[in-house]
Amino acid sequence: MNAEIIAVGSELLTPQRLDTNSLFLTDQLNALGVEVVTKYVVGDDRDLLADTVRRAMARSRIVILSGGLGPTEDDVTRDAVALALDRKMVFHSEIADQLEQRFRQAGRKMAEVNRRQAFIIEGAEILPNDRGTAPGQWIDDSDVSIMLLPGPPHELKAMFTRQCLPRLERVVPQQVIRTLVFRVAGMAESDLDQTISPVYKKYNNPVTTILAGEGDIQVHLRARCSNEADAAALLAEVAGPIELLLGDRIYSRNGEPLEAIVGELLQKHHATLSVAESVTGGLLAQRITSVPGSSNYFLGGFITYSRKMKADLLGVSEDILAQHGAISKETAEAMAIGARRRTGSTFALSITGEAGPDPSENVPVGTMFVGLADASGTQVVHRQFFGDRPRIRVFATQMALDLLRKKCGLVGV
Amino acid sequence: MNAEIIAVGSELLTPQRLDTNSLFLTDQLNALGVEVVTKYVVGDDRDLLADTVRRAMARSRIVILSGGLGPTEDDVTRDAVALALDRKMVFHSEIADQLEQRFRQAGRKMAEVNRRQAFIIEGAEILPNDRGTAPGQWIDDSDVSIMLLPGPPHELKAMFTRQCLPRLERVVPQQVIRTLVFRVAGMAESDLDQTISPVYKKYNNPVTTILAGEGDIQVHLRARCSNEADAAALLAEVAGPIELLLGDRIYSRNGEPLEAIVGELLQKHHATLSVAESVTGGLLAQRITSVPGSSNYFLGGFITYSRKMKADLLGVSEDILAQHGAISKETAEAMAIGARRRTGSTFALSITGEAGPDPSENVPVGTMFVGLADASGTQVVHRQFFGDRPRIRVFATQMALDLLRKKCGLVGV
């Protein structure tokens, strides 16, 4: 079964913006065994959009539109689909009332223009939007299923998962899909591929995809079969050897990010964590606290951007700073020890380095020292990264989290 | 004049890949005064692609295809365009010879399959490819110009710049383009649109595009005229009233993000900043330090995730925590004062609140208190946000930065 995805919005036709919703939607559709055959990006032009919808409907059984459901005159998706299907629009006062209530709860008066969002195409099912104001719509027209979804990714994802997936499972013929995602930190993509390609290259099913991020690689395996047992066996046939070859460089087998894995390990060991960051300026703490429930193990952190703050807040001695510089093994060590002492945490991570754009203290851009302190002592790892400022900062936090993972994973606390 | 861009390749229809060539092409076309009205991604399917080319030609004077020019059977772009135009393919032995020589120079024997790349559509101009093996093609068909370009971005960019731009400049009427980007913090998209749409709705030129992010809105204006003075005047005619209506809610007129603007204001006033974060866990500091040179004004920060850390690191009194709770106006105030006292900064920002997923301390998810302390005293702003954890955290940092911007912008330090 085939699908087409239409992203709506003139802003998606500028040099600054890409439609990324289609990646999520494709992933979800593929998991049902549905292939995406064409993707479109169309501006806020009702007639052109209506024509695009007609074309997609002529070719595919599933048509998904994202965006253009907002309150402004630029938001033409409702009108365009109604035009394509030759159906009327119906005003739903209960939607308008809900919208008004939502605004009231936020202590604001609803702008009149928002009432546009209460128009629904005749015969459509309303898809509630609990993350935003624009409701979605699901329409069955002869043998085609058409979905109108909001553009903001967090609204679209929630609505698709809760409202569209259950409906699609009734429309799409059943297949069994089994997936597995290995995540690996601190390995170059080419090294990883060279290690595991002799295994996966022999198989068309499962499909193996390698995605490289900053200091982070994902290996996706997807097996499709007519029954559960075959899919599981096929997946194991490829995943087993890959797992053996990569060993403890694999940090996650379910797609979870490194910060979540580290959090689980800390909780398992009833351990707590604090951080002291210089060059990463809060990025490490931000990643750790992006995990819901991180308050169970994360005590707090220090961002010490200047030498004075390293001395005042963390107790890094003037001697160390003067003798070795703020970007040094010794300072990283003293920062980690200071953070641990001031918070009383089981572990403390520290990062000091230079992310650029300009070198400092005669240290080249990309130099990073990561410290890890616990009751048994302190270790410091030194690495040289390449790339721009945001990239180097992410690499450094990845290195810090992976250092802690290995410590927690290998040593009982 | 309008253009359509067709990206060819089944790999671009997977959940992992996006066509990014279209961003470069759009930027180049916009600079000539050409608008992109539809973008497509089509798999390696000759008939479907031919049909897409016909559709694009019926609507637009410029059609650009990228990808599908390689040597394998999956590479269907040549065949598809020939089919769409009802033209023959012609074998060019001089191209085959050049390819063979290229392989020989690399010390390799050319696989027979590479000869496919020597087929050119009847009447097409050959566009040499000095970065790869596949030549491009330029075809004028009645009043439509069609370009076939290679998929690898570095090949496409070089070929477009050297071969297509000079040809396009002969086809496209000469125009001058002027652009302006206003950025606005802390306003709902619908409120902003209601405020300024009476101004911009009257104009097709300049084109106005509104891009909404998390607590951040961009208003893009783009004017096209035959000469510089007219374009500037036209832009001013729309930008002037918008600027008056939005007033100091506009934080940037050149597209710079809020953290960069705040940094500039702090430097202008020779002021310094520290932060104390609870719920945002380092995100605020991370945004501030993402700006190169932020060490000139950012001293440091505290991430105090637990009550104990708020007391130990920032000196928030047990009384306040017990009486008002960690998520309160009073705690936000004490956190800001504590951060300022311990770092000696001119300003200190604090954030405490609940980002979810679960409510805490009888406080609903999305509750945020932002404090700002300076020598004159402390102010605290309370807001209720909606959305998921990452979104609420971004909103809170946006609110904090905008609070500081207004303080710095309005009051001399």
Is residue B280 within 8 angstroms of chain A, CB to CB?
Answer: yes
- B301–A300 C-beta distance less than 8 A: no
Residue B154 and residue B109 in one domain? yes
Binned at pLDDT 50, 70 and 90, residue A73 comes out as confident
- Inter-chain touch A72–B210, beta carbons under 8 Å: yes
Pick from A71, A313, A357: CB nearest B300: A313
Domain end call among A229, A252, A275: A252
Residue B88's pLDDT band (boundaries 50, 70, 90)? very high
Q: For residue B413, is pLDDT > 50?
A: no
A73 touches chain B (CB under 8 A): yes
Question: What average pLDDT does range A8-34 have in this prediction?
Answer: 92
Express as a percent the part of chain A with pLDDT over 90: 72
Give the bridge partners for B221, in sequence order.
B180, B208
B90, B119 Cβ separation under 8 angstroms: yes
Could you read off the pLDDT of B125-174 as tens digits, one per residue? 999 998 888 899 999 998 999 999 999 898 999 999 999 999 999 899 88
Nearest by CB to B282, which of A11, A286, A356?
Answer: A286
SS3 sequence, chain B? CEEEEEEECHHHHCCCCCCCHHHHHHHHHHHCCCEEEEEEEECCCHHHHHHHHHHHHHHCCEEEEECCCCCCCCCCHHHHHHHHHCCCEEECHHHHHHHHHHHHHCCCCCCHHHHHHHEEECCCEEECCCCCCCCEEEEEECCEEEEEECCCHHHHHHHHHHHHHHHHHHHCCCCEEEEEEEEEECCCHHHHHHHHHHHHCCCCCCEEEEEECCCEEEEEEEEEECCHHHHHHHHHHHHHHHHHHHHHHEEECECCCHHHHHHHHHHHCCCCEEEEECCCCCHHHHHHHCCCCHHHCEEEEEEECCHHHHHHHHCCCHHHHHHHCCCCHHHHHHHHHHHHHHHCCCEEEEEEECCCCCCECCECCCEEEEEEEECCEEEEEEEECCCCHHHHHHHHHHHHHHHHHHHHHHCCC
Q: In the sheet where A144-149 sits, what is the strand order? A: A125-127, A136-141, A144-149, A62-66, A2-8, A35-42, B35-42, B2-8, B62-66, B144-149, B136-141, B125-127
Pairwise CB contact (< 8 Å): A303 & B30 = no
Judge: B292–A38 Cβ closer than 8 Å, yes or no. Answer: no
Q: Is residue B189 domain-shared with residue B165, that is, in the same domain?
A: no
A38 and B CB contact within 8 Å:
yes
User: Distance, in angstroms, between A186 CA and closest chain B CA?
Assistant: 21
Q: Measured between beta carbons, which residues in chain B are less than 8 angstroms from residue A154?
A: 387-388, 390-391
Which of A260, A159, A286, A305 has the alpha carbon at shortest distance from B303? A286
pLDDT band with cut points at 50, 70 and 90 for residue B410: low
**Are A16 and A163 part of one and the same domain?**
yes
Per-residue pLDDT tens over the stretch A194-242: 899 899 989 988 988 887 778 899 998 988 888 889 999 999 999 999 9
Q: What pLDDT, on a 0 to 100 scale, did the predictor assign at position A410?
A: 62
CATH code, A16: 3.40.980.10
Query: Domain check: are A323 and A243 in the same one?
Result: no
Residue-wise pLDDT tens digits, B11-53 = 899 888 899 999 999 999 988 889 999 999 999 999 999 999 9
Name residues 213-242 of chain A within 8 A of B (Cβ): 220
Mean pLDDT of A343-371: 92
B357, A292: Cβ pair inside 8 Å?
Answer: yes
Is the N-terminal amide bond of A292 cis, ω within 30° of 0?
A: no
- Residue B302 to residue A298, Cβ atoms within 8 A: no
Q: What is the pLDDT of residue A211?
A: 78
- Contact yes or no for A18 and B14 at CB 8 A: no
What value, to the nearest 5°, has the Cα angle with vertex A304 and ends A299 and A310? 105
Q: Is A173 on the interface with B (CB under 8 A)?
A: no
Residue whose C-alpha is closest to residue A43's, from A8, A79, A67: A8
B309 with A299: Cβ contact below 8 A: yes
Q: What is the pLDDT of residue A409?
A: 81
Boundary-marking domain end, from B206, B231, B252? B252
Question: pLDDT tens-digit profile of B58-75?
Answer: 999 999 999 999 887 788
Percentage of residues in chain A having pLDDT higher than 70: 99
- Give the closest of B191, B286, B313 to A300, CB-based: B313
Least confident window among A40-44, B141-145, B388-392: B388-392
In angstroms, the first-to-last Cα distance of chain B is 51
Residues 127-146 of A with CB under 8 A from B: 131, 133
Interface contact flag, A39 B35, Cβ < 8 Å: no
Q: What is the pLDDT of residues B165-221, one digit of tens each?
A: 999 998 998 888 888 999 999 888 889 999 999 999 999 899 888 888 888 999 989
Confirm or reject contact between A277 and chain B (CB < 8 A): yes
- The Cα-based distances of B65 to B44, B57, B145, B232 in angstroms read 13, 12, 11, 34
Partner residues linked to B373 by β-bridges = B348, B378
CA nearest to B6 within chain A: A40
Range of the domain at A204: 176-252
pLDDT tens for B317-366 read: 999 999 999 999 999 999 999 999 999 999 999 999 999 888 877 789 99
CB nearest B26 (choices: A14, A26, A295):
A14
| Model pLDDT, residue A40 | 98
CA-based nearest residue in chain B for residue A155: B387
Degrees, nearest 5: CA angle A146-A147-A148: 125
Higher pLDDT, B403 or A111: B403
Structure token pair of residue B299: 């001293």
pLDDT score of A413 more than 50:
no
B-contacting residues of A 340-399, CB under 8 Å?
342-343, 356-358, 389-390, 393
Look at residue A257 and give its three-state secondary structure.
Answer: coil
Instruction: Yes or no: say if B117 and B70 are a contact pair by the CB < 8 Å rule.
Output: yes
Taking only the tens place, the pLDDT of each residue in B227-278 is 889 999 999 999 999 999 999 999 999 889 999 999 999 999 999 999 999 9
Based on the fold, state whether residues A11 and A158 are members of the same structural domain: yes
Nearest chain A alpha carbon to B43: A37
Number of domains, chain B:
3
Of B30, B295, B299, the CB nearest to A15: B30
**Do A391 and A268 share a structural domain?**
yes
User: What is the chain A residue with the closest CA to B285?
Assistant: A282
For chain A, report the end-to-end CA distance as a whole number of angstroms: 52
| Cβ–Cβ contact A2 with B under 8 A | no
Check B24 against A15: CB less than 8 A apart.
Answer: yes
Alpha-carbon distances of B248 from A47, B243, B410, rounded to whole Å: 38, 9, 9
Are A48 and A137 contained in the same domain?
Answer: yes
How many other C-beta atoms lie within 10 A of the C-beta of residue B195? 16
CA distance B86 to B251: 55
Which tokens is B157 given?
A: 């960019």
Residues B295, B406, single domain; the answer is: yes
* Mean pLDDT, residues A291-308 taken together: 94
Q: Prior bond to B357 cis, omega within 30? A: yes
- Region A70-97: mean pLDDT is 93
Domain boundary among A140, A171, A202: A171
Same domain flag for A18 and A163 = yes
Contact B292 A357 (CB under 8 A): yes
Q: Are residues A125 and A146 in the same domain?
A: yes
Query: Which amino acid type is present at position A123?
Result: G
> A209 and chain B: CB distance < 8 Å anywhere?
yes
Residue among B87, B68, B85 nearest B76 (CA): B68
Asked whether residue B163 falls in the same domain as residue B293, the answer is no
Size of the A and B interface in Cβ pairs below 8 Å: 230
pLDDT classification of A188: cutoffs 50, 70, 90: confident
Per residue in A127-141, pLDDT tens? Answer: 999 888 889 999 999
Contact B303, B281 (CB under 8 A): yes
**Whether A164 and A207 share a structural domain:** no
Computed over every residue of chain A, the mean pLDDT equals 92
What pLDDT shows up at residue B54?
Answer: 97
Interface probe with A: pick from B37, B38, B200, B220, most Cβ of A within 10 Å: B38
Collect all residues of chain A within an 8 Å Cβ-Cβ radius of residue B37: 13, 42-43, 45, 48
Amino acid at B98: Q
CATH code of B328's domain: 3.90.950.20
User: Which of A189, A303, A304, A306 to probe the B interface (max B CBs under 10 A)?
Assistant: A303
CATH number reported for the structural domain that contains residue A233 in this entry: 3.30.70.2860
Rg from Cα positions in chain A: 26
